[in-house]
Amino acid sequence: MTDSLLSLGDQRFLLLTTYRRTGAAVSTPVWVARDGDALLVSTPRDSGKVKRLRNDAQVELTACGRFGRPRRGSRAVRAVGRLQDDQTAVDRVTALLRAKMPLEYPLVMRLEGSLGSEREKRVVIRITEE
C-alpha cells in the first residue's frame, strides 16, 4: 500500500525527514494536521528542522509511532516543506492540533512552556506535494 500525502494527515505521528547541507537525512517524529491540500507541523523556531528546511525544502514523510518507529507497511512520501512564521499560520496549526489531540497537545505545550508565549516562538511547516 502506498500512502498518499493527504492520507498521512490522518496519522497521529509522522516521521519527518529533512536534509543537512551534506545530504545526510535527519528524521524526527512530529504531530501533523491536515489543512486543505497540505499538512501542517508546528515546531520551535530554533529547531534543527527549521534550519535544514531553510537550505533544502525537500522532505520525506512516513507514518510512525510516538517514538519514530515507522509503521509496518508504511512507505515514505516525498514532498516539499515551506516555513511560515506569521501568527495567523501558527494560530491555525495550533487550533487544528488541539482539535485533533485535545488532551495530548495542550499537555505537551504546557511542558514546553506556557501556551501563549510558546506559540510566539513557533513556526509552521506547510507540507505539499512536490
Tens-place pLDDT, residues 44-70: 999 999 999 999 999 999 999 989 999
Share of the chain above pLDDT 90, in %: 72
For the record, the C-alpha cell of 79 comes out as 514532498
For the record, the C-alpha cell of 106 comes out as 495542550
Question: Which pLDDT score, from 0 to 100, does residue 113 have?
Answer: 66
- For residues 4 and 75, give the distance between their C-alpha atoms in angstroms, rounded to a whole number: 9
The overall pTM is greater than 0.85: yes
- What is the average pLDDT score of the chain? 89
Question: What domains, with CATH codes, occur in the chain?
Answer: 5-127 (2.30.110.10)
- For residues 55 and 73, give the distance between their C-alpha atoms in angstroms, rounded to a whole number: 30
Better-predicted residue by pLDDT, 110 or 10:
10
Question: Which pLDDT score, from 0 to 100, does residue 2 have?
Answer: 39
Which range of 9-13, 43-47, 55-59, 112-116 scores highest in mean pLDDT? It is 55-59
Tens-place pLDDT, residues 16-45: 999 999 999 999 999 999 999 999 999 999
Question: Which pLDDT score, from 0 to 100, does residue 104 have?
Answer: 81
Place of cell 528546511: 53
- For residues 91 and 56, give the distance between their C-alpha atoms in angstroms, rounded to a whole number: 25
- For residues 78 and 59, give the distance between their C-alpha atoms in angstroms, rounded to a whole number: 6
How many other CB atoms are found less than 10 A from the CB of residue 1? 6
